[in-house]
Amino acid sequence: MKMSILAGATGMAFVGGSVAVSAFLADAPSLTVQALRYAVACALLLLYARGRVVRPRGAEWLWLAGVVVTGMLVFNVALVQGSQHAEPAVIGVAVACVPLLLAVAGPLLEGRAPAARLITAALVVTLGAALVQGLGRTDGLGLLWALVTFACEAGFTLLAVPVLGRHGPIGVSVHSTWMAALGFGLGGLVLEGPGAVPRLQLDDVLAGVYLAVLVTAVAFVLWYTCVQRLGSARAGLLTGIAPISAAAVGVALGGPVPGPAVWVGVAVVAAGLALGFRSPAASPPAPAAPPPAPAALPGASAVPPVAPAALPVASAVSPVPAALPVASAVSPVAPAALPAASAAPLAALPAAPAALQAELARCRPGGQRTTMPA
């Protein structure tokens, strides 16, 4: 799970850095730049995939088209239009609310019930990201475009869930990038003209390379890998890293050092991530079952201190093997035919049953016994 978290966090760090880098494209033909960005990213992904991309079929075309329309086409339009009616912080706070939506809608789309702990963690991450972004002023249209941005950012993840199983992170990234390149290319030809490419400056090209390689080719694969392995609810928590990365890259590019509220927001985001990715407490092991009672020997519990009649006669006279006939223990047999123990004096014999004692009483004084009835 650690590698999946690292993949998602790295992807969101690249996305957050794109906020500051995109500022260099303010005067560039945006549609043309986006078309070139996605075309280059698609080419890199195809080289990396090496034929592992399969053709979409059936409803998969609709899911992939939804990813492109919401997460790429409309999202970029909403950013441009929203920035004309609202301060950037307003758009940033709207995007920061995505973890909460993913924590609720993601499990439902995957056929599971939302987890209360992940919803709580998403609220904490959203609060921290809002502190990092700060608050800004807006009008009604700015608020509307902020909501559109919020929905499109969530759609980029949620609409990819049904096709990740068959296409995987690379396949979804390849198909979404070539479809986006086609859409932005047509828009650029119509609205900006074919002469837009020669007008690009060096800063525009460098910013476009960063967006194509790190924010698209690399970040898309990392993000969808995280979503596939962790689920959209947990992966959505990592979107809180994007505003932190944006603030850090802004400082690196010469922006002002963040104030105390930003640092508090960073700490709150970290707390939300710790809550969301904390392993659930292991339940105590169930008590071991008592060992089964030993099985009773056949007849041991039912026979009281052995009734004399139940024993063979031979066992009461001498330790003669049970295989010997009963008569061999009581009739006059030659000494050689009996075990050595049968010649022992009568005094050494164990207490005999009453019936045997009566027979022994009939012995003659000279030690000669009468023959016992068979």
Residue 265 in domain = yes
Task: Identify whether 370 is part of a domain.
Answer: no
Provide the pLDDT for residue 187.
Answer: 92
Alpha-carbon distances of 168 from 105, 160, 165, 225, 316, rounded to whole Å:
21, 10, 6, 8, 85
Q: Which residue has the higher pLDDT, 277 or 305?
A: 277
- Coil, strand or helix: which one is 130? helix
99-120: average pLDDT: 89
Across 57-61, 110-114, 340-344, least confident range: 340-344
pLDDT of residue 363: 57
**286 within some domain:** no
Query: Is it the case that residue 338 has pLDDT exceeding 90?
Result: no
Q: HSE-up of 249 (CA within 13 Å, CB side)?
A: 18
Predicted confidence at residue 109, as pLDDT, reads 83
Banded model confidence at residue 362, pLDDT cuts 50, 70, 90: low
Q: pLDDT grade, residue 336 (50/70/90)?
A: very low
Domain assignment present for residue 214? The answer is: yes
CA-to-CA dists, residue 57 to 54, 63, 213, angstroms: 9, 10, 28
pLDDT digits (tens, 9 = 90+) for 236-291: 999 888 888 877 877 787 777 778 888 898 899 999 999 988 876 544 555 555 55
Report the DSSP beta bridge partners of residue 138: 86
Cα 228 to chain centroid, rounded? 10
Beta bridge partners of 89: none
Query: Is 342 part of a structural domain of the chain?
Result: no
Q: Which residue has the tokens 């392993």?
A: 279
Q: Please state, as a whole number, how many other Cβ atoms lie within 10 Å of the Cβ of residue 52.
A: 12
Residue 215 to residue 75: CA distance in whole angstroms: 15
Q: How far is CA 201 from the centre of its chain?
A: 46
What the block records as the tokens of 11 is 């992807």
pTM above 0.75, yes or no: no
In a domain, 338, yes or no: no
Phi-psi region of 294 (alpha: psi -120 to 50; beta: other; left: phi over 0): beta
Average pLDDT, the chain: 78
Beta carbons of 83 and 19 less than 8 angstroms apart: no
Both tokens assigned to 152: 């499109």
SS3 content of the chain, % helix, strand, coil (to 5): 70, 0, 30
Most confident of 116-130, 285-299, 353-367: 116-130
Q: For residue 301, is it within any domain?
A: no
- For the ranges 1-15, 188-202, 285-299, which has the lowest average pLDDT? 285-299
Range with lowest mean pLDDT among 127-131, 219-223, 330-334: 330-334
Per-residue confidence (pLDDT) for residue 343, from 0 to 100: 44
Q: In the numeric block, which tokens belong to residue 289? A: 């079952």
Q: Is the pLDDT of residue 347 over 90?
A: no
Question: In this structure, which amino acid lies at residue 154?
Answer: A
For residue 48, tell me if it sits in a domain: yes
pLDDT band at 221 (very low <50, low <70, confident <90, very high): very high
Using alpha carbons only, what angle is made at residue 147 by residues 122 and 10, rounded to the nearest 5 degrees? 45
Q: What is the tally of structural domains in the chain? A: 1
Q: What is the pLDDT of residues 15-49, one digit of tens each?
A: 877 777 777 787 889 899 999 999 999 999 999 99
Is the per-residue pLDDT at 334 higher than 80?
Answer: no
* Percent of the chain surpassing pLDDT 70: 73
Q: What is the pLDDT of residue 289?
A: 54
Domain that holds residue 242: 2-277
User: Could you report the per-residue pLDDT of 75-98, keeping only the tens digit for each?
Assistant: 888 877 777 787 776 777 777 788
